[in-house]
């Protein structure tokens, strides 16, 4: 494989600026930015393009639970300093039902933990690292399209932030641009899709957490989740209908419902405060297989979506790009294609395990619309068994903290 050159070339015919690199990465979320960082450490050049602005990417609120395997990797590649200083280490979670709190003790069951550190904070760390190392990050692009992915010289065309046409000549393209991006649509795939009959209404509140760990609550009025982002910020969720109108949920109603669903022995753990964000998130499971076509490889949400109940979304993206960076480094530095040939099959094994865990947690904790008394008693029986079984608790713990690579 030839090395890359970032010197621009101008096409005299259409005044389109053409840039050469080894890996063109579409999407500047955690997957795309981490892939660029890992490739840099392996001696492979990349250019990252992103349709959103840098400010938007830095500030968008997403998942915040990092598996033990994810935190280990971030430390290994020089991205753990601020995470270790500001992240909140959690040694377990709680399952709340029957008016009582049942703790799943990760450290006692499997000897590991998780860290609460917002996705936007990981993104900030990655942008800082890529800027420090001279990485090529292009924000505010438009009209992105991929070409010639069946050849060994695929291309990405787009318009830069000034509206000028650009062309990126690559050895490989990595599609890290999410479910609605151009990459997934360019890969012929089997779509495994499941929509859930409920959604999450989430709020970000300027209120200090009143507990140290996440609490997953099963309640007859619907699921609720207590989580946090920092010592000053809490993140709270309520199960609502998928077509719920956010305008029908004024702040007072949100707080009242949170107190009702999360109360144990008549006491609620929720401390109220000014809302910083409020939104509704649809719940779905989705897998695109394979995760590769020719020289275009999918990673992160471009290839799979999980319901947030299992805290797997960003962690799966990290697992994908860890595999992909190794495969592309072998291909581009040593002309060894074995890892790229097995990338999709290997990645999908972990994806499907995470899908199964996320589906199981979601099904166990949410009230299905129209569920009869029998179905609800079955759910409660499963929760009671889980809370009383060391084997069941160990299964939750090892899946939640992250299975070994």
Show pLDDT as tens, one digit a residue, over the chain (405 residues): 333 344 444 344 445 689 999 999 999 999 999 999 999 999 999 999 999 999 999 988 777 899 999 999 999 999 999 999 999 999 999 999 999 999 999 999 999 999 999 899 999 999 999 999 999 999 999 999 999 999 999 999 999 999 999 999 999 999 999 999 999 999 999 999 999 999 999 999 999 999 999 999 999 999 999 999 888 999 999 999 999 999 999 999 999 999 999 999 878 889 999 999 999 999 999 999 999 999 999 999 999 999 999 999 999 999 999 999 999 999 999 999 999 999 999 999 999 999 999 999 999 999 999 999 999 999 999 999 999 999 999 999 999 999 998
- Outline where 103-242 has alpha helix (H): 106-110, 119-132, 182-185
Predicted confidence at residue 68, as pLDDT, reads 95
| Contact yes or no for 126/176 (Cβ under 8 A) | no
In angstroms, rounded to a whole number, what is the distance separating the alpha carbons of residues 233 and 339? Answer: 42
Phi, psi of 51 (to 5 degrees): -75, -25
Q: Name 65's bridge partners.
A: 116
| Contact yes or no for 224/236 (Cβ under 8 A) | yes
Instruction: Look at residue 89 and give its three-state secondary structure.
Output: strand
All residues at 6 or more sequence positions from 394 whose CB lies less than 8 Å from its CB, including other chains = 109, 110
In angstroms, rounded to a whole number, what is the distance separating the alpha carbons of residues 27 and 379? Answer: 39
| Contact yes or no for 20/7 (Cβ under 8 A) | yes
Predicted confidence at residue 2, as pLDDT, reads 35
What is the Cβ-side half-sphere exposure of residue 126, based on CA atoms within 13 angstroms? 27
Buried b (16+ CB within 10 A) or exposed e, 242-278: bebeeeebeeeebbebbeebbbbeeebbbebbeeeee
Overall size of the chain counted in residues: 405
Measured between its terminal Cα atoms, the distance across the chain in Å is 28
Phi, psi of 144 (to 5 degrees): -70, 135
The residues assigned a catalytic role are 90, 216, 308, 312, 400
Predicted confidence at residue 267, as pLDDT, reads 83
In angstroms, rounded to a whole number, what is the distance separating the alpha carbons of residues 128 and 58? Answer: 11
For the four alpha carbons of 297, 300, 301 and 307, in that order, the dihedral sign comes to positive
Topology classification of domain 9-64+119-189+290-357: FAD/NAD(P)-binding domain (3.50.50)
* Domain 91-114+196-283+369-401 in the same topology as domain 9-64+119-189+290-357: no
In angstroms, rounded to a whole number, what is the distance separating the alpha carbons of residues 167 and 138? Answer: 12
In angstroms, rounded to a whole number, what is the distance separating the alpha carbons of residues 264 and 259? Answer: 10
| Contact yes or no for 347/340 (Cβ under 8 A) | no
- Outline where 268-312 has alpha helix (H): none
Predicted confidence at residue 62, as pLDDT, reads 73
| Contact yes or no for 315/402 (Cβ under 8 A) | yes
Q: Look at domain 91-114+196-283+369-401 and name its CATH class.
A: alpha beta
Nearest to 18 by CA among 147, 116, 155: 155
Beta strands in 38-133 (DSSP E): 46-49, 65-66, 88-90, 92-97, 100-105, 114-116
Q: What is the number of other CB atoms lying within 10 angstroms of the CB of residue 194?
A: 13
In angstroms, rounded to a whole number, what is the distance separating the alpha carbons of residues 275 and 137? Answer: 32
338 preceded by a cis bond (ω within 30 of 0): no
Q: Where are the domains of the chain?
A: 9-64+119-189+290-357, 91-114+196-283+369-401
| Contact yes or no for 215/93 (Cβ under 8 A) | yes
């Amino acid at each position: 494989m030839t090395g890359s050159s970032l010197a621009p070339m101008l096409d005299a015919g259409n005044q389109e600026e053409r840039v050469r690199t080894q890996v063109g990465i579409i999407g500047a979320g955690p997957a795309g930015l981490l892939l660029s960082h890992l490739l840099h450490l392996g001696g492979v050049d990349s250019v990252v393009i992103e349709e959103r602005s840098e400010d938007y990417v830095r500030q968008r609120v997403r998942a915040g639970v990092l598996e033990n395997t994810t935190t280990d990797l971030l430390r290994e590649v020089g991205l753990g300093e601020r995470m270790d200083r500001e992240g909140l280490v959690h040694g377990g979670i709680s399952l709340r039902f029957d008016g009582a709190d049942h703790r799943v003790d990760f450290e006692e069951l499997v000897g590991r933990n998780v860290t609460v550190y917002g996705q936007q904070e990981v993104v900030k760390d990655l942008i800082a690292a890529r800027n420090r190392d001279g990485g090529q990050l292009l924000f505010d692009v438009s009209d992105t399209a991929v070409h010639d992915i069946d050849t060994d010289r695929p291309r990405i065309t787009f318009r830069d932030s000034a509206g000028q046409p650009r062309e990126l000549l690559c050895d490989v393209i990595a599609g890290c641009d999410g479910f609605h991006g151009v990459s997934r649509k360019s890969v012929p795939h089997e779509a495994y899709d499941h929509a859930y009959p409920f959604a999450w209404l989430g709020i970000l509140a300027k209120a200090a957490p009143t507990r140290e760990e996440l609490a997953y609550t099963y309640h007859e009025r619907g699921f609720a989740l207590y989580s946090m982002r920092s010592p000053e910020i809490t993140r709270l969720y309520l199960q609502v209908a998928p077509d719920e109108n956010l305008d029908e949920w004024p702040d007072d109603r949100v707080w009242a419902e949170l107190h009702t669903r999360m109360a144990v022995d008549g006491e609620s753990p929720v401390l109220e405060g000014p809302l910083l964000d409020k939104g509704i998130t649809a719940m779905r499971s989705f897998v695109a297989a394979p995760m590769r076509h020719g020289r275009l490889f999918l990673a992160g949400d471009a290839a799979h979506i999980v319901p947030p109940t299992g805290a797997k979304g960003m962690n799966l993206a990290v697992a994908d790009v860890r595999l992909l960076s190794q495969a592309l480094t072998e291909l581009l530095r040593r002309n060894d294609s074995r890892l790229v040939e097995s990338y999709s099959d290997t990645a999908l094994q972990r994806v499907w395990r995470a899908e199964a865990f996320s589906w199981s947690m979601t099904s166990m904790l949410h009230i299905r619309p129209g569920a009869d008394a029998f179905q609800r008693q079955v759910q409660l029986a499963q929760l009671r068994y889980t809370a009383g079984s060391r084997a069941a608790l160990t299964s939750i713990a090892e899946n939640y903290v992250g299975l070994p690579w």
